[in-house]
Structure formats: C-alpha cells, structure tokens
Amino acid sequence: MAAIAAQPYDYPLPTTPTVALILIDMQRDFLEPGGFGDALGNDVARLQAIVPTVKRLLEAFRQQSLPIFQTTESHRPDLADCPPSKLLRGNASLKIGDPGPMGRILIEGEPGNAIIAELAPLPGETVITKPGKGAFYNTNLEFLLKTHDITHLILGGVTTEVCVQTTMREANDRGYECLLVEDATESYFPDFKQATLEMVRAQGGIVGWTATTDQVIAGLQAMAV
Ligand code: TIU
C-alpha cells in the first residue's frame, strides 16, 4: 500500500483515489496588504512566501485528477452570517464589511475576497465559502466529501493555527484521515505554526499527520502506479 512518509509515522494512502486536497483561505484578504489580515495588524509577507509551494501541491493534485477543494472566509454583504462577537472582536482599524482598498473586508464577491491569482480555481474545482474559521461549520463541505467518497484529506493554506487547524480538528472528529502539509501552510506567528504542527501529530497523531510537500507528492505518485 502506498504511503506518505510523515510524522509521527507513515500516512497510509488508500488504494482507490479517495484523497482530496483542501486549501484553506488562500485569498487576497489574508495575503495582500489592505485586507483582513493586515487590518488585524499582521505582516502579510510571511504568508506570501508559501505561494509557490502551495501552487506545486495544487498542480500535483491537478495532474492526478484528484479532487480539489478551496475555501474562503466570506460573509454575506448584509453581514447576516457574521455574529457580533466576530464583527466587533479586536477593535481593528477596519472591521468586516468596511470598505478597504480591495473592496469590503471579508465580503463575498469583493475583489479582496478572491483566491489569489496564482492559485485561482479551475473549472471543476470546488470553492466553499465559509462564515467561520472551520470549513465544516455552516457549509456543505461534509456533504460534498461524502458524495465523492473521500476519506483522506491533505490540508494546506492559512493561517495554520486559526482556520487550518480548526478545519483539521473538525475533519478529524468526523472520521477523516487528515495530513497537514508543513510547508504549504503558514501563520502570521512562526511559533504558533510550529506549535500547531507539533500538537496535531503529538500523542501518536491525535489530530493527524504532517509531511512536506515533497513527501506528499512522492506518496501520491506511488499511489498512482
Ligand atoms: N487571523 C487569522 O490568523 N486568521 C483568520 O482570521 N482566518 C483564517 O485563518 N483564515
């Protein structure tokens, strides 16, 4: 059986291609100046550095015609799906829904809410808009995964300890075999990223596995033969 060399031990791949890529929130709001991440006081340059690696991972899934899901953190223009706790938290200079240089912050359909051009989804690749941090909360992701008989999730995107980790934990509790790609995820806080990688794979993989993009691609290629 094919496997991805991973920590804390090898991640077994299924014999049938029931493995999907989940890329979390690689949207301008988090990666470019003037978006939500910037408004929260973060340095977005850290996140831009992983784009070529994420692109390589995405292309590997495309080459093998494996299912690809991307998410965006997005709210309705009327903010009906944004609880006041989320809207008002942090006293940010720009709040969700405020006009910024890329349109209204974190609002569906605004230029800043788009996935960055380098990773723009192709026809047939699914984009899930999510109002929360986790991709399962108030979305149809679980329904779509079940429809495609997907059992294994390879996760990347931003930010590691917020939306990526929340999604991985949600998926783990739902029975998915989850692997977080170490160099295809990033945080505004390097220590938080490192801690997340360590905590998900601690205790025998309590939340799942971690591996590098190279290791994932090698495993997928072995699965294909
Ligand atoms: N602030 C932060 O680190 N992240 C978020 O608000 N959303 C996501 O992680 N996508």
> Tell me, what's the pLDDT at 109?
97
Report yes or no: 26 and 70 within 8 Å, Cβ to Cβ.
yes
**Confidence bin at 16 (pLDDT 50/70/90):** confident
Helical ranges in the chain per DSSP H: 28-31, 36-39, 45-48, 51-63, 84-88, 141-147, 165-173, 190-205, 213-224
| DSSP-derived 3-state class of residue 35 | coil
Which atom in ligand 1 lies closest to the alpha carbon of residue 37?
1
Separation CA 98–CA 87 (nearest Å): 10
Report yes or no: 102 and 32 within 8 Å, Cβ to Cβ.
yes
Q: Work out the average pLDDT over 81-90.
A: 94
Which atom in ligand 1 lies closest to the alpha carbon of residue 163?
9
Backbone φ, ψ for residue 2 (5° rounding): -70, 150
CA count, 13 A, side-chain hemisphere, 146 = 8
Q: Which of 69, 72, 54 is nearest to 216 (CA)?
A: 54
Q: How far is the CA of 185 from the centre of ligand 1 (A)?
A: 12
Ligand 1 pocket, residue 19 CB under 6 Å: no
**pLDDT at 91 exceeding the cut of 90:** no
Which atom in ligand 1 lies closest to the alpha carbon of residue 30?
10
Which atom in ligand 1 lies closest to the alpha carbon of residue 188?
3
Ligand 1 pocket, residue 163 CB under 6 Å: yes
Angle between helices 190-205 and 165-173 (to 10 degrees): 20
| Longest alpha-carbon distance in the chain | 53
| pLDDT tens-place string over residues 198-215 | 999 999 999 999 999 999
**pLDDT at 17 exceeding the cut of 90:** no
Q: Which of 72, 67, 80 is nearest to 29 (CA)?
A: 72
The residue among 39 and 72 whose pLDDT is bigger is: 72
CA distances from residue 141 to 61, 138, 211 in whole angstroms, order as listed: 18, 9, 24
Measured in whole angstroms, the distance separating CA 37 from the mean position of its chain's CA atoms is: 15
> Tell me, what's the pLDDT at 15?
75
Ligand 1, atom 10: nearest CA belongs to which residue? Answer: 163
Structure tokens at 177: 């075999």
**pLDDT at 57 exceeding the cut of 90:** yes
> Tell me, what's the pLDDT at 56?
98
Separation CA 180–CA 44 (nearest Å): 21
Neighbours of 186 (CB within 10 A): 24
Ligand 1, atom 7: nearest CA belongs to which residue? Answer: 163
**pLDDT at 92 exceeding the cut of 90:** no
Q: Work out the average pLDDT over 41-66.
A: 96
Separation CA 38–CA 75 (nearest Å): 18
Q: Which of 70, 71, 73 to mutate to test the pocket of ligand 1 (most atoms within 8 A of CB)?
A: 73
pTM of the model: 0.96
Q: How far is the CA of 163 from the centre of ligand 1 (A)?
A: 6
Q: Which of 204, 107, 111, 121 is nearest to 157 (CA)?
A: 121
**Confidence bin at 124 (pLDDT 50/70/90):** confident
> Tell me, what's the pLDDT at 225?
72
Q: How far is the CA of 14 from the centre of ligand 1 (A)?
A: 31
* Catalytic (active-site) positions: 25, 130, 163
